[in-house]
Chain A
Amino acid sequence: DVKVTQSSRYLVKRTGEKVFLECVQDMDHENMFWYRQDPGLGLRLIYFSYDVKMKEKGDIPEGYSVSREKKERFSLILESASTNQTSMYLCASSFGGGASGELFFGEGSRLTVL
C-alpha cells in the first residue's frame, strides 16, 4: 500500500526556533512536494523536488528551505520559526514523468508557533 509518512503529527515551537519537518515515501516516487494549508487560503506550494538533490521554489518559499539527500526523503526546514508559520503542513509525492501524476499525501503536520 502506498505510504507517505510525516514524522510529527503535532508540534509546538517557540518563535525563533529551528524546525525540521520530515517526510518519507515508500513508493520510489521521483516527485515530492511540501504544501501548507490554511483556512480560506487552500493548499499553497512551498517547495518541490523532481529528483534527488534538486529543489524548486513554489509559490510561498520565503522563510523555508528544503533538503532532498535521498530519493525517499524530503525535509522542510524553518530556519527561524515565526507565528505566521503556524499552519498545517502537507507532504506529497507522485510518480515522475511530469507533474500531472496522482499526488499521494501524508497525514499532515500541524505546527503551532508561539
Chain B
Amino acid sequence: RKEVEQDPGPFNVPEGATVAFNCTYSNSASQSFFWYRQDCRKEPKLLMSVYSSGNEDGRFTAQLNRASQYISLLIRDSKLSDSATYLCVVPLSGNTPLVFGKGTRLSVIA
C-alpha cells in the first residue's frame, strides 16, 4: 500500500451538494492527520486537523477510521469557493516530516 493514497478526482458537484473524499494511509501508528486545501496556482494551506475520531468546522467534517486506516473529509452545502484541490497529510512516525497525498480535485459548479 502507498503511504498516503487519495482518489485524484476530479469531483464535479453542483452548488449545495454534499461531497466526501477518502484518504487511506499505510502507517497504523500515525496519530495525527491533516487536510490541506490548495487553490489553483496557490500554496497549500491547513484546512483541518484530526487527532482523535474526528473534527467539525462549519460545513466541513473530518473523520478518522483507525481500524480501516482512512480519513475522510465531508463538505456540506458546497460553495463555488470550495473548488480546490484537497490534500490529505499524514506523519509516518513521530519526528518524520509529513507525507502528502497527491490530492483530490473538487469543482463546484453553479
Q: Is this pair of chains taken from one and the same complex?
A: yes
**A residues in contact (CB < 8 Å) with B:** 33, 35, 40-43, 45, 48, 50, 58, 90, 98-100, 102-103, 105-108
Interface residues of B, count at CB 8 A: 23
Q: Is the CB–CB distance between B42 and A103 below 8 Å? A: no
Q: Known: A90-B43, A108-B43. Is A103-B102 also a contact (CB below 8 A)? A: no
- 10 closest residue pairs by CB, A with B: A42-B102, A105-B43, A43-B100, A99-B97, A102-B46, A100-B91, A100-B32, A98-B95, A48-B97, A99-B95
Residue of B nearest to A103 (CB): B98
State how many angstroms separate the Cβ of A23 from the closest Cβ of chain B: 12
Nearest-CB distance from B64 to chain A (Å)? 14
Instruction: List 16 interface pairs A-B (beta carbons < 8 Å), by A numbering.
Output: A33-B97, A41-B102, A42-B100, A43-B44, A43-B87, A48-B97, A90-B43, A98-B95, A99-B97, A100-B94, A102-B34, A103-B36, A103-B46, A103-B89, A105-B44, A107-B43
Per-residue 0/1 for B20-40: is the Cβ within 8 Å of any A Cβ (1 yes, 0 no)? 000000000001101010000
Q: Is the CB of B42 within 8 A of A107?
A: yes
Q: What is the minimal beta-carbon distance from A87 to any residue of chain B, in angstroms? A: 14
Given contacts A42-B103, A99-B91, A100-B32, are A105 and B45 in contact (CB under 8 A)?
yes
Residue from the set A103, A106, A107 with the largest chain B CB neighbour count within 10 Å: A103
